[in-house]
């Protein structure tokens, strides 16, 4: 290999540098080799890169994961440390465009400086055959955009709040350092199998430095999630990200695409709140008010910061009544009910490493629980055990790693709650209770016992002694995620649980009328 030329000093801060072609240890700017103009490639160097190629003798490209507007992402192998990494290469066609080169360099600097649990870590930068690249931590999971397409229906409120805590923490960290992401959208939010959220794609991140903070901003970003002032090219601050996050939260909670939400918001706060209440009656007026404020057309009317938005979301006034914490069931086949957007952190194909790549990054595998787990439901006594020996009964397990979600949900079998402001524990319990049949009307009566000719079955999945979530199907029909309580007709049924990374398990059960039973299924990798 031809040794690198050693630059004498960083072109940005002027201090001596010791890692040619890498970030300056002082200001994190990408240093350049002597005699070269930044990352601008020489014509003779520019050749296609493909799986099998080794970058700078250190990283072997293995397979493409996808591509975004700025670059292409590969799963790669770190030959020295023997680990998987993700490598983002600037598109070949952009290597002669100074603005694109500057954006790519800015993204690398930003990622190097913004070290946070909800921001993808960067390992190194480099250049191969005239194409600059960023080496990042290899993560597994899927984008929120794909997650929302996986199973029909809005997400349960506890799950959305768990994600909001993480996203607000990440955005607050970014904003406190004088930066604005400017492209918050489901495609730039990555979820691990355990529900850990990571912010992606810092290619158009805006850093407020001196007079730059007062200059008009560009119109870079995703139009459907863009704050009005950003779309007009006006100066932006962290409140532009809050507007985008507000649209994402509304999409998760209502199933409405951002274009529909923006049309409602354009009618004014009062009209928007009323329209959202009509379209999503499972949301409380106080929670809707928080979201309408987050997406106010005037940035001065939004929350002051990400933590202020989070505090408003977690305020007791923002918790919906216990009788309306879950969305209504999806319309039956052939019905004409309102279409629901996808839901369920199915992490279906957990698309090994991040088959995301809209933001050009890949994800991290983990099974940790959300920041604040949903309280466990009180144990249910087992009055009858009808499952075979392969699926023994057991007391209700502790809270799962992820709050379950299902497009069909109903209030739990507890006394009816008529107070408009129930306790948080009741709200959480109702949000977590799910059934395979039509729910009680919002604010209606609760079930005190199984219906005639039907029995109640609670399906729980565990792995190595710990409760974990899994998708459950009964007689081939999807019924959300475990742990879940189902009211089934008497007779024989087949219960199947599935989760990426584990072998599917199937159990025959027999439901006796008027009884309750728990089916506990062990998952195996």
Which residues carry a binding-site annotation for ATP?
A: 88
183 is catalytic: yes
Give the count of alpha carbons within 13 A of 158, CB side only.
31
- State the DSSP string of 4-65: PPPPSS-TTT----SSTTSB-TTT-PBP--TTS-TTPPPGGG-----TT-EETTTEEEEEEE
The residues, any chain, with a CB within 8 Å of residue 182's CB and separated by 6 or more, are: 204, 205, 206, 217, 220, 221, 230, 236, 240, 241
Cβ-count burial 81-94 (b if 16+ within 10 Å, e if not): eeebbbbbbbbbeb
Q: DSSP 3-state assignment of 205?
A: coil
- CA–CA gap between residue 159 and residue 291 (Å, rounded): 16
**334 close to 142: Cβ distance less than 8 angstroms:** no
Instruction: Output the six-digit token pair for 372.
Output: 């604040």
DSSP state of 400: -
| Chain-centroid distance, C-alpha 183 | 14
- CA–CA gap between residue 71 and residue 238 (Å, rounded): 26
Catalytic residue among 78, 97, 183, 237: 183
Instruction: Output the six-digit token pair for 476.
Output: 């081939």
Residue at token pair 């955009």: 145
| Chain-centroid distance, C-alpha 373 | 16
- Distances in Å between the alpha carbon of 364 and those of 194, 356, 361, 367, 524? 10, 12, 10, 10, 21
- CA–CA gap between residue 320 and residue 287 (Å, rounded): 7
The residues, any chain, with a CB within 8 Å of residue 34's CB and separated by 6 or more, are: 5, 6, 7, 8
- State the DSSP string of 276-344: HHHH-TTS-HHHHHHHHHHT-SSGGGS-SSHHHHHHHHHSGGGSPPGGGSSPPPPPPTT--PPPPPEE-
Q: What is the phi-psi region of residue 153: left when phi exceeds 0, alpha when psi lies from -120 to 50, beta otherwise?
A: left
Q: DSSP 3-state assignment of 130?
A: coil
Nearest to 135 by CA among 74, 67, 45: 74
The residues, any chain, with a CB within 8 Å of residue 515's CB and separated by 6 or more, are: 383, 384, 386, 450, 455, 456
DSSP state of 425: H
Catalytically annotated residues: 183
């Amino acid at each position: 290999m031809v040794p690198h030329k050693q630059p004498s000093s960083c072109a940005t801060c002027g201090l001596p540098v010791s890692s040619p072609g890498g970030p300056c240890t002082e200001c994190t700017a990408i240093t350049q080799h002597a005699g070269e103009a930044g990352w601008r490639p020489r014509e003779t160097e520019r050749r296609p890169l493909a799986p099998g190629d080794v970058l700078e003798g250190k990283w072997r490209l293995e397979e493409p994961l996808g591509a975004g507007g700025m670059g292409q992402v590969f799963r790669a192998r770190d030959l020295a440390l023997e680990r998987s990494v993700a490598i983002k290469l600037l598109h070949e066609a952009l290597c002669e465009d100074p603005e694109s080169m500057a954006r790519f360099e800015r993204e690398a600097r930003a990622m190097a400086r913004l070290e946070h649990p909800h921001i993808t870590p960067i390992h190194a930068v480099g250049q191969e055959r005239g194409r600059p690249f960023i080496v990042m931590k290899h993560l597994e999971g899927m984008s929120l955009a794909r997650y929302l397409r996986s199973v029909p229906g809005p997400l349960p409120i506890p799950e959305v709040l768990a994600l909001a805590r993480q996203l607000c923490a990440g955005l607050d960290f970014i904003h406190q350092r004088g930066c604005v992401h400017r492209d918050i959208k489901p495609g730039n939010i990555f979820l691990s199998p355990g529900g850990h959220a990571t912010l992606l794609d810092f290619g158009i991140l805006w850093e407020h430095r001196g007079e730059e903070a007062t200059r008009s901003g560009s119109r870079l970003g995703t139009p459907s999630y863009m704050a009005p002032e950003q779309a007009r090219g006006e100066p932006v601050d962290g409140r532009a990200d809050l507007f985008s996050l507000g649209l994402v939260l509304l999409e998760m909670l209502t199933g409405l695409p951002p274009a529909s939400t923006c049309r409602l918001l354009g009618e004014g706060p009062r009209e928007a709140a009323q329209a959202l209440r009509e379209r999503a009656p499972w949301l409380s007026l106080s929670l809707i008010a928080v979201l309408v404020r987050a997406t106010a057309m005037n940035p001065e009317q939004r929350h002051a910061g990400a933590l202020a938005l989070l505090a408003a979301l977690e305020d007791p006034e923002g918790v919906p009544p216990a009788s309306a914490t879950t969305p209504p069931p999806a319309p039956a086949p052939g019905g004409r009910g309102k279409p629901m957007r996808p839901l369920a952190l199915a992490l279906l194909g957990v698309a090994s490493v991040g088959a995301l790549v809209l933001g050009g990054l890949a994800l991290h595998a983990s099974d940790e629980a959300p920041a604040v787990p949903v309280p466990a439901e009180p144990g249910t006594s087992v009055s009858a055990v009808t499952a075979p020996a392969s699926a023994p009964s057991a007391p209700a397990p502790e809270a799962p790693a992820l709050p379950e979600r299902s497009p069909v949900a109903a209030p739990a079998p507890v006394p009816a709650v008529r107070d408009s402001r129930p306790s948080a524990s009741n709200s959480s319990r109702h949000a977590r209770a799910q059934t395979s049949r039509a729910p009680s009307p919002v604010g209606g009566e609760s079930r005190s016992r199984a219906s005639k000719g039907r029995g109640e079955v609670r399906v729980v999945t565990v792995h190595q002694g710990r409760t974990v979530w899994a998708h459950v199907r009964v007689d081939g029909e999807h019924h959300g995620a475990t742990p879940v309580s189902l009211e089934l007709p008497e007779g024989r049924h087949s219960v199947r649980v599935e989760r990426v990374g584990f072998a599917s398990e199937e159990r025959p059960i027999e439901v006796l009328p008027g009884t309750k039973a728990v089916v506990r299924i062990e998952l195996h990798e």
